[in-house]
């Protein structure tokens, strides 16, 4: 399994995606800083405290990387169908389910790790930014940090599975754009805020959707062994 994952990563040149993730981090950060400045000049304060700041960084990071996950899915899974390289893959003496599972695992692990690291990174940066910009005068307690880290982990687990939901549409339509569009729609429904709260801020929703994502991706690949490869 590990070997299959390695080969998959070699195939799509994973290093490019890692660079992309780093770049995304910088953009998120720049955007956050911009938002704070813009709102400050309006006389309206973007974050009233650390908890609110953490909420917003988390939203940005998860929104970005769930779309990133959809890009990976399109490349790793859907792209193999549209480029017909799947005929090659399925002629190898390897269980098709294992091939698919290796691909899914890469998506989940990549999404999870990039969400956790990016979230911690942007929180860290924003903390220092606040130390200079003095947006609010909250004090950060150890308790708050611990709570934030736990919530980052829990959310990231939910989100990395939830990000698999677009597979269903992608596999049905065999289309990479449909996959990414589904992911964008999903992410805007979850993160679109209404009166300062969004669907995803209720922790149970991403977790349930995470389970849905796991089930849906299982459904999408369960018949792969018996399915005809026609296109």
Write out the residues near another protein by the rule CB under 8 A. 3, 7, 10-11, 13, 83-85, 87-95, 225-226, 228-230
Query: Cβ closer to another protein: 94 or 199?
Result: 94
φ, ψ (nearest 5 deg) of residue 197? -130, 150
Q: Which is nearer to another protein, 7 or 34 (CB)?
A: 7
59 within 8 A of 200, measured Cβ to Cβ: yes
Looking at beta carbons only, is 80 or 161 nearer to another protein? Answer: 80
Shortest separation between residue 76's beta carbon and another protein, angstroms: 12
What would the DSSP string read from start to end of 184-231? HHHHHHHH--BTTB-GGGSTHHHHHHHHHHHHHHHHHHHTTTT-----
> Smaller CB distance to another protein: residue 48 or 84?
84
Looking at the chain, how many residues does it have? 231
Q: How far is the CB of 74 from another protein (least distance, A)?
A: 15
Instruction: For residue 140, give the DSSP letter.
Output: -
Q: Concatenated DSSP letters for 13-67? A: THHHHHHHHHHHHHHHHHHHHHHHHHHHHTT--S-SSHHHHHHHHHHHHHHHHHH
**Least distance in Å: CB of 178 to another protein?**
22
CA distance 29 to 76: 28
In order, the DSSP letters of 153-192 are HHHHHHHHHHTTTHHHHHHHHT-HHHHHHHHHHHHHHHH-
Least distance in angstroms from the C-beta of 179 to another protein: 19
**Least CB distance from residue 194 to another protein, whole Å?**
42
Nearer to another protein, 1 or 91 (CB): 91
76 versus 115: smaller Cβ distance to another protein: 76
Shortest distance in whole angstroms from residue 138 CB to another protein:
48
């Amino acid at each position: 399994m590990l070997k299959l994952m390695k080969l998959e990563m070699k195939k799509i040149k994973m290093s490019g995606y890692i660079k992309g993730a780093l770049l995304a981090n910088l953009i998120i950060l720049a955007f956050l800083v911009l938002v704070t400045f813009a709102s400050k000049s309006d006389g309206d304060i973007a974050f009233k405290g650390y908890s609110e700041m953490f909420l917003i960084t988390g939203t940005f990071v998860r929104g970005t990387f769930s779309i990133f996950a959809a890009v990976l899915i399109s490349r790793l899974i859907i792209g193999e169908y549209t480029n017909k390289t799947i005929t090659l893959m399925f002629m190898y003496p390897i269980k098709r389910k294992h091939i698919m599972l290796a691909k899914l695992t890469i998506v989940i692990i990549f999404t999870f790790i990039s969400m956790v690291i990016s979230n911690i990174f942007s929180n860290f940066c924003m903390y220092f930014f606040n130390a200079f910009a003095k947006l609010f005068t909250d004090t950060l307690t150890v308790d708050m940090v611990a709570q934030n880290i736990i919530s980052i982990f829990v959310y990231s687990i939910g989100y990395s599975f939830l990000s698999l939901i677009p597979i269903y549409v992608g596999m049905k339509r065999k289309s990479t754009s449909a996959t990414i569009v589904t992911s964008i729609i999903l992410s805007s429904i979850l993160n679109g805020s209404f009166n300062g709260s969004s669907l995803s801020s209720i922790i149970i929703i991403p977790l349930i959707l995470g389970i849905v994502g796991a089930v849906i991706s299982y459904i999408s690949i369960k018949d792969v062994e018996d399915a005809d490869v026609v296109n």
